[in-house]
Structures are given as structure tokens and as C-alpha cells.
Structure 1
Amino acid sequence: MPLDDRYRLAFRLYPYARSADQDAAAPVRHPVVVVGGGPIGIATALDLGLQGIPVVVLDDHEGIGQGSRAICFAKRSLEIADRYGCAGPMLDKGVVWNLGKVFYQDRKIYDFNLLPEEGHRFPAFINLQQPYFEKFLVERVREAQADGAPIEIRGKNRVEAVEVRDDHTILTVATPEGDYTILADWLIACDGAGSPLRSMMGLDFEGRVFKDSFLIADIRMLSESFPTERWFWFEPSHKAGASTLLHKQPDDVWRVDFQIGWDVDRAEELKEENVRRRLDAMLGPEVDYELVWSSIYTFQCRRMKAFRHGRVIFAGDAAHQVSPFGARGANSGMQDADNLGWKLGMVIRGEAPDRLLDSYHEERAHGADENILNSTRATDFITPKSKISHVFRNAVLELAERYEFARPLVNSGRLSVPCSYDGLSLTGEDALPGGPARSRPGTPCPDAPLGNGFLLKGLGGGFTILTVDAEAPETVTEDGVTATRRAVSAADDPSGALALRYLGEAEGAVYLIRPDQHVVARWSGYDESALRAALRRACGKE
């Protein structure tokens, strides 16, 4: 199996076609240009296009690359995708899982459940090959285009040069029919970890590269030996790797990760016979399988110093990198798109000042730092850097087999959770005595089942005044921005989950919620002046 599948297509969804810009007498200026047709670039374009903002996506390929790459998509990413209108097919195709097991050598030391409580529309995770995730996003773009959303995807359009001006950028774009130039009021760089745009602008990452290598092998097999769970082995007895990870994907495909060390010959390790040698040692000679895809990666925990550079904004892997253990890469990138879309939309429409976009860096750099911290800790635990740290790591594993208190110390990759923006500049007051911590200002709204569906589905795409057994006006408009009421009560809460997640010890509550479903502020009752102030603050006006 070849190492580099990046130039092969799993789905040729947007073949090259000549655009009108290539025949224009002068460079055409666009409100937003997104560079990169991966999941974060398409999600960002979809967010903006659904707001009615014209956006052009430039991708150097004509569709979606082969190789499963990211496979674990978290509950929060599904909630974001649901707001865009494409979570249904992802959930239908994906392999749902909440359970996992941790092994030391050949012994199971404990198992875990990532979503033990009821009352959630989406599971903790689905496993879904990245090409499918991207395909469903692009198919949603096609539906949105048919409904008038001004989104254009241009395949085989590679950005060769960028010139940054105070109020726009100038892009030189290469195509099979020659180069052309376009202008962008706003340029969103979603062009991956190797981001050519980042290099063109003389920018770089800051952080750590860890000296260890991991071999990924995706295999197709029909086996009843492994359930739909995340299984992780420390020092497995099969000796095929210092650690091993196993996940099930759709279409009878399984992801296997082997920790193989730093000083390895990558070309040699990727030869099919050597990949099969490791797989055979793990699975046993009686298991038949087909090798689908393989690659080698190293742990990298790095980010840009600033995600915004004037009219150029970086998102996803172009802005930050983490190790894949913990499923923090694509899930963090989806939160980038979710955070950036509504803010850029407001600035373009003149509803918010330009400085609102500075909060994109503030909040998502905070999220990146959180992911890097967790990813670094996981890396240090999985790959001990000294003999004594190795001894201590294995002692923790021995304890965890017998004692529950030691299990939180085991780190096989703390799995992605949604980021909270506690205490950052857009977050308002918490005036709900006894309110639940999970719905405090700065957090993403927890979902809850209602008598007629789920809470998040009804929040809409703008600012929302959520009232729970409380009164408030149907709309509040402050400085050109309107927040619309969503009223729910105990009668809508047959399971009690809504009260548990939004009231706590309070008898009633009023929440102000952002377009990305994060809580701005909350009160025990309606306070007009406080709500107006919180709305101004959430729009970057205070």
C-alpha cells in the first residue's frame, strides 16, 4: 500500500471547470475566499453561505482524498453539523460508540463509558472515515446551492501567491488552463497542517514535535472478535507495537495504530509485508483481512501564535496541530468553523465591529491550548521519555486494574470534549444561583429531550433568549442585533433532563445564547438592562 494517497480521490465531487473570473477584464473581488476543500474549509463555507454571504472555496484537488485519516467525530461536531443540516447522513453511516476498554499487556484493566446518561440526541462519538464526513458536507453544500446559497467550490484551483493589503488580499491562482488573479475582502486559510498560505505569509507554528512514530493501518475484515468499542493496549503481548489502538469504522473497516518508535525506516515499515507482519502478530493467523490504507505519523502539539492576521484568518490544522490520540484535530477544527462563521457574518453585515474577530483568536487559541495540554499529557503517558517515567507509568496501570481511584490517571488519549470559554471577553454574568455548572456562561449548550424534539434543534441560527419557566419579551433588539425568545417549561420536560441541565436549584432561568449555541449569560429572571448589556458584549461592542 503506497504511503502517499493524498493525490488519489475517494470522491471526485468538484472537477475543474473554468470560472468567469478567469475571463474577467480585471480581478474580481469576493467577500470571502476559503482556501482548502477539507472538512473545515467546506464547513466554514457552508456556515457563511447559509447566512447568505457569498463565498468561494479554492481547492488544489477535485474532490476528497483517499485514506480514512480522521475517523472519530464527537458529539459536539455532530451538533454543529446538525445546525448546518448534514448530521443525519453522518449518523446513519457512522459507527456509534460510547464504550472503551484499556488493556495492559494481555489483561483488561478497566472499561469506560463516555456518555452514561440518557437524554442526548447524538452519541459521544461516531467513527466515520473522513472522506465520508467531507462528502456529506459537500452534498449539503449542493443542496444549499440549489436553495440559493451563494457558495462556489473550484477544484484544481491552487493558490500560488498571496499579497496582504489593509482591507483585502490579492491571490494568484493556478489552474490547468493557466493562472488568474482574484481579490478577497476576507481570506480564510483552511489548507491543512502544511498550510502553503501560512508559509507564503512567513508564519509558523510554535510548540513540540515528539520523538516517536505511529503506523496507521486501515484493514477490512469480517470478524466477531472485536466489538464496536475503542480498545487500547499498553505494551501488548503480541509485541507488534509498544502500544496499540483498535477502532471499528463503517464498511467492515478497522483502524489499527501501532507505536513503532522514532528511529525507524519509514519506507521499510510501510512495505505491505512489514505492515502485515505487525497485523498478523496482533490478530493471529486465522483472521483474514484486506489492507486498505496505511501511513506513518509523529505526535505534534503546536499552534500559530495568532490565528488572525488582519484580513487573513487561519482555521483547523492550518492554525493548530495535536496528536491524533483523543480525536482532537478535526473536532477542534469544526469548533473553529462554528466560532468563526457567525462572527465573520456579523462583521460583513455591519452588525458588529471588526474587533469581534479578535475574539475568534482569543477563544479558539484557548481551545487549542486546552487540546495541546491534553494531547501532550497523553503523549507523555503513552510514550514515557525515561526509565523512571516508564516505571511510574506501568505502576499506574497495575493500580488501575485493581483500584478505581487510579483509573483517571491512565491517559490513552483524553477524548475530545467541547471547549468552554469561561471568563473570556465575550462571556457575560452568571446570575443564576444554584445553576448547573454544565450550562454556565461560556459553555456550549447541553442538549435535552423535550416533548416535541430536542432543545438544540430549536435554537435557530441567531441570538436566542432561552426561558425555562420564566417570562421575557419575544424579541429584544439592541444596536441592530435581535435576540429571539425560545420558551420551554416543565411541561416540555418529561424526562427532567432540561431542569437538571438548565435550572439546577433554581425555579426559573433566562439564558442568552450565541448563534454557535454557547451561553453568553444567565439570570434567575428577565433583566432587560442586563440582557442588553450582555448582547452588546457578545457582539464585541463593549
Structure 2
Amino acid sequence: MNVQQPTAEIPVLIAGGGVVGLSAALFLLEQGIPVVLIEKHSGTSIHPRARGFDTRTMEIFRETGLSAPIREAGKALAPAWGIYRNSSLVKSISKRKANSKTSPVNMLGIQALLQMSPEFVARCTQDLSEPVLLEAVIKRGGTVMFHAELTKFTQDMNGVTAHILHRGTGEKTFIRSSWMIAADGAKSSIRESLKAKTTGRGSMGNLLNIYFEADLTDLVKGKEFSILNIRESWCRGMLCSINNSNKWVFHLHSADDDAHFSEEESKHRIVVLLRKAIGIPDLPIKIISILPWQPTEKVMVNMRHNRIFFAGDAAHVMTPYGGKGANTGVQDAHNLAWKLAMVIKGEASETLLDSYNQERQPIGKEVSARSADWADEYGLLSKGPMAIGPVVLTVLGAKLTATLGMHQLSTRLAMKHMGNLLGLPDYRYHSAAVLNGNTAKHGYDQALQLTGLPGTRLPHVWVQYQQNRLSTLDLVKSKWMLITGMQNGAWLRDVIETNKQKGLRIRLFSFGEQGELKPENASLQQAFGIKEDGAILIRPDGFVAWRSTGYSTELADVLGKLTGK
């Protein structure tokens, strides 16, 4: 790997080389910002951990060309859907028909949601996704230093000084950076060093993550599953699929009376328990690792501490239920990268960076709370009526209203409870980096439609552009963008002048049958809520910064307010 040790000050140091840290490095490199990433372990994760990416994360990876490689890396897990409950896997499998369709794409009532994005959720465990991200970072010129542990840091008005221990050699060095991103996980030493204030329910139970090998290929073929819940007097736990073949994880509620057993005795007891949970008494099982962990809800009140920004589990620890941990972290990094890049390049003032916490902290807090709501009294995934009731009612309501031709209501119903589960960005940002919004509003604001409202993600519309079929999201490419109607002569003139004044490179696209973007089945008003002489301004992260229903002379002033310059 690229292990040179920089001596001069660098723009951004990233502490933590998991999915979130690697994603932050990738997004900054896409913006042309050099980065150094340090990771205390010797390489990428050897544990599966996170098992997939939601729709919004896949949209972001699509932008960097990694959507297809991520899907390819996780293809073995792709058929694994469905949450079941029984006393053993054999009993659960015996009750199911082969090749039954359990993917969310087959759920009734959510067809409208599927049309809101060019992407969909993807299965891929963390031990397989991280190498894909690492390769992309290295190819783009990023510096990655494994076995490099952050032991101490200080910050001043101009930057951060990080003290590094190279664990392989014992050598100690330091790195000076203008900014640092803390992506060092749920037990973030950076967060703890700063004594950062947090909220949340804290630990919700004690579990053992048991990663093991057992060949169950023939048993589960055509009857793949995601999670099997077991709630018996002899066991409370969850069996999770990793590759639908020979690798699995069992999350076992850990009782206090296990403490007096030796490691070998504990392993033997666990193998016996796993065989019973699977339902095959003589099944050969190899334990790969046993890791204690605690499902936790813990959210930072402020994700920025002067020159240090927090992302992912370092900022908001959540249970794995709903699969939002890594996804929220990747989306944190994507939100932050373009803002840091503009400040570093001198295109924006540092006030733009205040919008990071304003926008992302409410999202982390909301999804952490939702995830914790799905945990039972032992910290395991609950599938009781109170947990799934709203989802069931939503699916039925969305299906009924769609059948009755009430399509807008159907979409809103589905978005309310299913949008977040599928990973659609069902929220609206309120900050100084969004105009026409409510900057006085604090907290999570759910968006039940994506129709061009400032603070929401750019609507996805299939268009023909330069003889290619693209999504409007494909045009963002981490840059500012203005979409107009056909009456856009004045807008074109304003863009040229604004780019000169602000030193930006805003791109303009005309939308219409005679425009650069020829829509397949949406009008300008339907897609973006603007008239033929209107425009919608898109930020480099694909969110709507400003909307003008008709022509306005305010473009330069708008950019000035958004960037603080």
C-alpha cells in the first residue's frame, strides 16, 4: 500500500479506515483534495459487520463508479432477504417454499418508491466492500497508512497535529493537517478525548457476535434468508446469513453465568448451541471469532469540534437493526466532503462548515432512535406487532390507494414508513446551505415526496442526454448544477457571470423536449415544481439548494449566501 509519511501540512487527515473513513477519502479525492488516511489495524476489516447498503448510499457509489463493483462483491449474499422466527433453521426452512420472493422489491404498495431512484439496496458485507473502496482511494492518489494508530492530537486555530504510532515498527511520527475527520468507530477515542456531549439510551444489552463456518449450502439453496430469530428457554439469539453458503454470524444474548467458563469450554458450549439452533446435531462447525458487543444508542450533540468533524459510528452509535449505521456514515462523509473542498479551495468561507452539523446531526439522531426502537429488552431484533405494525399498515394503505388511483397519496403513505427502510433520502435539510427553507427549524424533518423542494434530494428523472439514457442524479458528479426550462437565455447569462464573480463552475442544463435533457415521462412542473423560465440549483451532494419557479436575477446573491462569499 501507499505508506509514505508526509512531512508538510496536508489539507485533511482521516482517522479510521473502515467504510466511512474510506468513503470520506474517496469523496474528497473526487473533489480534488489530497488526503491521508490512518488506520490502526493492519488492513481492511476481516469481519462481515455491516451487510449491505441502502438506496441513497448506492446512489452515491453510483456517482463514483462503484455501484456495480459493490454489487458484484456482494452477489453471494444478494438473495438473502426475509426475517423469520423459529426454534431452529431446519424447522424454519421446512415451512418455506423454494424460491419464494422475499426481497423488498417484491413488496406490495412500494412500486412508486422504486421509481424514485436509479438504484436499489445492495447486499455486501463490510469485509468485501472495504477492499473495493480501498482500491478506489488508492487509484485516485489517496495515501493510506495501515497499522498507524492515532495516540494523541491537539488542535489550534489553523489545524490539527496528530501523533501517530506505527504499530508494526514502533516508530512515532506526527502529521499536521488543516482539518481532521474522525471516523474511528463506535468507541471513538477522539470523541472520548474531547469529552463530547452525547444523547441516547446508551447500551441496550450484552451480546456475543459469533462468526463461524458451517456448510449449509444445500439446506438454504432456494430458501435463502437474512435473519432467523430464536427465542427459546435455552437460547435467545439471531442467525444471520453472510454468504448463503458456509459463513454465518450468530448474535447470542450473553448471560452472566457464562463468565466462569474457560475459553475452550465456552467454544464447546457455543458449538453445541449452534448445532441446536441450526437443527443438525452432528454439523461440523468452525468458530472464526467471538466478539462481545453492546447494541447502543449514543449520538453526539455536535458533530463538529473546531477543526475536527465526526462521521459514522464515531458520531452516532446505533443498533444494526434497519441497517443504517454504515449508510448514515457514508452519507455524512458525502455531505461533508464538498463543503470542506470549497473551503480548502477558497470558494467558500468557513461558515459553510457549520451546516454539516445542522444537516447531519438530526438525521443521525433520528435513525439511531428508530433503530433502537427495533431492539427488544435483550438488545436483540424485535419483530413484535408494535415494531412491524406501522410498516404492515403502510404497505396495505399504499397498495389500496394506488389501486384506487390516488397515486400521490399512495407515494406519501409508502414514503412515511418504508422510504427510510429502503434508504431513500426521506428528509429535508434546514441550514444556511439551503435557501427557501426554514433555517429556524431544528431537528429531523421528514420529506414524503422528492419533488424539488429546497433541502431535499434532487428528483430522479430518466432523461436522454447526448444520446445516452441517464438519471438526473448521474449529472451531479459532485459539482454545482442549474436545471432550467427552455426559456433560459437569461439564466445562461447569469451563470457565466456568476462563475466569473465567484470562481465557480456551475453547469447549466435545459430540461424539455428540445433541451439538453429530454425527459422520458415527466414535465418540468411535475419533476421540479418550476415553470419554463424557472430554475433549480443543485449542490455538489445532489441536494436542492434553491428553487425559483420563474426567472430571478438573484443567482449571484444566492450563491453568495450559500457559500458565505
What TM-score do the two structures reach when normalised by structure 1? Answer: 0.79
Alignment of 1:327-342 (within 5 A): 327-342=323-338
Q: Distance in 1 between matches of 2:423 and 2:456?
A: 15
Corresponding residue SS for 1:64? coil
Following superposition of structure 1 onto structure 2, how do residues 32-47 of structure 1 map, counting pairs within 5 Å? 32-47=12-27
Q: Which amino acid in structure 1 is aligned with residue 27 of structure 2?
A: D
| Aligned residue runs from structure 1 range 140-539, under 5 A | 140-145=136-141, 151-175=142-166, 176-203=169-196, 205-218=198-211, 219=213, 221-223=216-218, 225=220, 227=222, 231-232=226-227, 241-242=235-236, 244=238, 246-249=240-243, 252=245, 255-258=248-251, 260=253, 263=256, 265=258, 271-285=266-280, 291-380=287-376, 393=384, 414=421, 416-418=423-425, 420-429=427-436, 437-451=450-464, 452=468, 453-467=470-484, 471=488, 472-473=491-492, 475=495, 476-477=498-499, 479-490=502-513, 496=521, 502-503=527-528, 510-529=535-554, 531-539=555-563
Contact kept, 8 Å, 2:359 with 2:430, in 1: the verdict is: no
Amino acid at match of 1:307: M
- Greater per-residue strand proportion: 1
Instruction: Give, in whole Å, the separation in 1 of the partners of 2:257 and 2:329.
Output: 31
Greater displacement, 240-249 / 30-39? 240-249
List aligned pairs for 1:21-100, cutoff 5 A: 21=7, 28-95=8-75, 100=81
Alpha-carbon spacing, 1:101–1:239, altered in 2? closer, same or farther (3 Å): farther
Amino acid at match of 2:276: A
Q: CA deviation at 1:502?
A: 1.8
Count the aligned residue pairs: 503
Q: Unmatched 5+ residue regions in structure 1?
A: 1-12, 22-27, 146-150
In structure 2, how many angstroms separate the alpha carbons of the residues matched to 1:419 and 1:358?
22
> Deviation digits for residues 403-431 of structure 1, max 9, x if unmatched?
976999999x956443633433322227x
Equivalent residue letter for 2:454:
P
The structure-2 alpha-carbon separation of the partners of 1:245 and 1:519, relative to structure 1 and needing over 3 Å to count, comes to farther
| Greater mean alpha carbon deviation, residues 198-207 or residues 85-94 | 198-207
- Classify 1:242/1:62 alpha carbon distance in 2 versus 1 (closer, same or farther; 3 Å): closer
- Amino acid aligned to 2:456: T
| Compared CA separation, residues 141 and 264, structure 1 to 2 (3 A) | farther
Asked if the contact 2:204/2:377 (under 8 Å) is kept, the reply is: no
Partner Cα separation in structure 2 for residue 333 and residue 383 of structure 1 = 22
Query: How many angstroms apart in 2 are the aligned matches of 1:399 and 1:340?
Result: 33
Residue 481 of structure 1: SS of its match in structure 2? coil
Any unmatched runs of 5+ in structure 2? 87-91, 399-413, 438-447
- Does the CA contact (< 8 Å) of 1:459 and 1:486 recur in 2? no
Aligned pair in 2 of structure 1 residues 508, 81: CA closer, same or farther (>3 Å)? same
The amino acid that maps onto 1:512 is: L
- On the 8 A contact 2:55/2:121 being kept in 1, the answer is yes
Q: Identity of aligned pairs, percent?
A: 24
| 2:442 paired residue number | none
- 1:382-416 Cα deviation digits (max 9, x unpaired): 8699xxxx9x95588799999976999999x9564
- C-alpha distance 285-230 of structure 1, shift in aligned 2 (>3 A): closer
The residue type equivalent to 2:18 in the other structure is: G
Matched with 1:25 is none
CA contact (8 A) 1:187 1:311 kept: yes
1:133 aligns to 2:129 (yes or no): yes
The equivalent residue for 2:404 is none
* Contact 2:73 2:129 (8 Å CA) reproduced: no
